[in-house]
Structure 1
Amino acid sequence: MAFAPNFPPVEPHICVKGGIEAIAFYEKAFGAENTFRQLTDDGKRVLHATLSLFGGSIMLHDEFPEYKNPDGENDVLSPVTRGGASVALNINLAKPADVDAAVNRAVAAGATVIMPVEDTFWNARYGRIRDPFGHVWAFNAALEAPAGE
């Protein structure tokens, strides 16, 4: 299997309610860089955006509740409308202190802690937040092995 050149092999594509506001939040909370944005004709919703963050990228778009697939289902609804996220976006950081800094920055920008940062039994510094658009972000960094191991 060959991957498309100049694109990551896996790139999350998230749906949000309030795309313009979400882009601003991700810029503030995560230092994201908006590399592409296309709005609807009325300028009120995001048809497609690409953000560069944490050494990778995500794509995002606004929800479109008026859209139905040929099978009659709507798969372009945000976690806010659906009643919760079905996936967590895991961010692997270099140093344990980076986890605390990332979570604190996200909270200062408006995120909610859903699992406080702690040293875990799997030897990582780890914490989870929910952004104001319903998406869950997990931050992780390996701890140093205890002396003598």
Structure 2
Amino acid sequence: MADVPNYPPVEPHICVKGGLEAITFYEKAFGAKNTFKQMTEDGKRVMHANLSLFGGTIMMHDEFPEYGGDVLSPASRGGASVAISINLPKAADVDQAVDRAVKAGATLIMPVEDTFWNARYGRVKDPFGHVWAFNAPLGGA
């Protein structure tokens, strides 16, 4: 029996259209590391991938509507229904993360700003429809 990874108690499992392109984007935009990838037999879709980023893990797969599942990508649903929050240690990290994502092809949907909740915060939408919110406490070095 294979070793089972030690997964955290809560972990996003996102669905995309264009899994291979999404992995490449997340590597470029967020510095993600692809730690596992299983493709369909024809090699055209990602059945499952684990991406390590920002100290956490996101699981990802392509759409498989032919199996009767109701997990669809934001592109098929008409938009994202959640934001993936990334909590960073320093306020300056938010600016850098948002800038890197936009340069890689994400769309800026909320410019980075100092907020009323005493944080540096900004949001982007990736090319696959997922929203990423970056947050760090103000006053950090």
Aligned-partner Cα distance in 2 for 1:36–1:114: 30
Cross-structure match for 1:67: 67
| Contact kept? 1:27, 1:33, Cα under 8 Å | yes
Cross-structure match for 2:89: 94
Gaps of 5+ in 1: 69-73
Two-structure CA RMSD over aligned residues (Å): 1.4
| Contact kept? 1:90, 1:137, Cα under 8 Å | yes
1:66 counterpart SS class = helix
Task: Give 1:76 deviation, angstroms.
Answer: 2.5
Q: Which amino acid aligns with 1:27?
A: E
* CA deviation vs aligned residue, 1:40-84 (integer Å, no higher than 9, x gap): 01100000000000000000000112221xxxxx41210011001
Aligned-partner Cα distance in 1 for 2:5–2:95: 34
Cross-structure match for 2:134: 139
Q: Which amino acid aligns with 2:92?
A: A
Structure index of larger Rg: 1
Q: Which amino acid aligns with 2:48?
A: H
* CA deviation vs aligned residue, 1:13-65 (integer Å, no higher than 9, x gap): 00000000000000000000000000001100000000000000000000112
Same amino acid, percent of matched pairs: 79
Count residues with an aligned counterpart: 137
Cross-structure match for 1:27: 27
Aligned-partner Cα distance in 2 for 1:116–1:58: 24
Cross-structure match for 1:118: 113
Aligned-partner Cα distance in 1 for 2:6–2:18: 28
1:35 counterpart SS class = strand
TM-score by length of 2: 0.93
Aligned-partner Cα distance in 2 for 1:45–1:7: 24
Aligned-partner Cα distance in 2 for 1:143–1:99: 10
TM-score by length of 1: 0.88
Cross-structure match for 2:73: 78
| Contact kept? 1:32, 1:52, Cα under 8 Å | yes
Gaps of 5+ in 2: none
Task: Give 1:5 deviation, angstroms.
Answer: 7.0
